[in-house]
Structure 1
Amino acid sequence: MSDRAADPATEAFVAHRNLLFTVAYELLGSAADAEDVLQETWLRWVKVDVGQVRDQRAYLVRITTRQSLGRLRTMRRRKEAYVGPWLPEPLLTAPDVAQDVELAESLSMALMLVLETLSPTERAVFVLREAFGVGYDEIAAAVDKTPAAVRQIAHRARRHVDARRPREVVSPSENRAALEAFQRALETGDLQTLLDVLAPDVVLVADGGGVKQAALRPVIGAEKVVRMIVGGIARYGGTATIGPTLVNGNPALVVHLDGELDGVIAIRVENALITGFYYVRNPEKLSRVESETPLTLR
C-alpha cells in the first residue's frame, strides 16, 4: 500500500476519484456503470506518462468523458429493451451535497431525466460545461469536436434543457415541506390533503425494471396518482413505513414494506406543489441508498 500511495499516477487518480465518479454518473445516471467507467479510466491512466501531463484533472476528466460516451451509446440500446420507464439510480448523499446548490440541481432526478432526451454528445457537452465549468477547448478534446462545434452544441443543448427543466430552483426546505405534507397525508389517510399537495397535472413515473410491480407508463393527473399510490398500499396489505432521506443532494422519501427496503421517492416541486413523482423500485438500483456516495463538482 505504501508503494502504491507513493505512485504519482495513483495519487492523482485517488485525488480526483470523487470528481470523476460524479462526471460519469451525471452522464450515465447509473452508479454501476459509472464505477465501470472509472475502472476503464484507471486502466488507461496508468499507461500515461504522468510527468508529461500538464493538467492531470483535465486529462482524467477527458478520459472519463470518452469512456462514458461509449458506454452511454451502449446503454441507449439497453434502455430500449427495458421494462417500463427508466429512472436514474438514486444515490444517498451527505448534507454537504444538498448545501451545494449547483451540485444538487445537476443531480436532481428531474434534471437527469431531461438529460436523457439529449444525444450522447449533447449530454456530455452540457454536463461538462454547465455543471463542471469545463472550457470549450477541453470539452472539444473530450468529445472529438472543434471548439466552434462544441459552442454550437452547448447552445443547442442549453436551449433544449431550459425548455424542459423546472422553471425555478426550489430550496431544500421547500422540497422537504412538500414531502412532509405528502407523508402526513398518506399516513393519516386524508385524501383531500393528499390532493392539495399535488399539482393538477402531476406526473408519477415508477421504475420497477420488470422485477417489481410498477406502472408501465407515466401516470398523469392528481386523482389518478392518488388512486395509484393509495391503491398500491391497500393491495399490499402489510406494514408500510415512509421516512425522509437525502437522495442525489435533494430531500426524498425511502419506503420500507414490512421492514424491507422497497424503493425511493424523489419529487419535483413547482409553486409549492408536487409536479413530479419518481419512484425507483427496481432492486438493482437500490444498492446506493443505504450508504453515502461522495460527489463533487471540483
Structure 2
Amino acid sequence: MTIDDGLHDFLGVRDRLLRIARGIAGPDAEDVVQDAWLRWNGTDRTVVRDAPAFLSRTTTRLSLTRTTTAYARHQSPVGLWPAERAQPGEDPAAMVVEADQLRGAMALLLSRLGPRERVAFLLREAFALPYRQIAGLLGVTEAHARQLTRRARTRLETSGDSRVSSVDHRDLLTAFTEVSRTGDPAALVSHSFRTGSS
C-alpha cells in the first residue's frame, strides 16, 4: 500500500471521523482528526484489515483522551499535572462547552466499560499515573492494571453501548472532578468499588 492509498482511505472516511470527534471533543475535532491522520500515516497499513474501522476507533480514543485530559488539566491544582490551570479570564462559554464534552465522554465510558476498566483508563489516560500506582490503588497486579487499560481501549473502539444510569453518570462526573480538583485519585477508586469490581 502506498502513501497515496493511505491518503485515499483516510479522505474516504474523514467526514465520519469529524462527526465522531465533534460528538466527543467538540471544537477540538479538527485537531483530533489531524492526530488520527498522523497515527494512520505512521501505521503499518499492510496489517490493517479494515481501514475505516481502524480510523474510527483511533478517532474515538483520541477524542476521549483529549476531552478528559483537557478538563483535568484545567481543574487540577496540584499533584497529577504540572501547573497548567485555567486562567482567571478564561472564556465562560468555552468552559461550558468543555463541561458538555466531559459529560459526553463520561457517558461513553459508562456505557462501554466496567468500573475498574473506567478507573484504570482514566487514571492512565487522563492523569498519566504509572501502571504500578494504578495497580496499588485498585489492589491488583501491575500486569492486571495494564490489562484493564488495554481492555478499556479495545471496548471503547467497539460499538454496543449499554444504558447509562443518570445516578452513575453523576457519580462518575463527581469523582472525576474531585480527582481533577484535589490531585487525589481516591475518589475514582472509591467510585469503582461502589459500582462493582469488573
Q: Which category of TM-score, normalised to the shorter sequence, fits these structures?
A: 0.3 to 0.5
Normalising by structure 2, what TM-score? 0.45
Normalising by structure 1, what TM-score? 0.32
Rg larger for? 1
Q: Which has the higher helix share?
A: 2
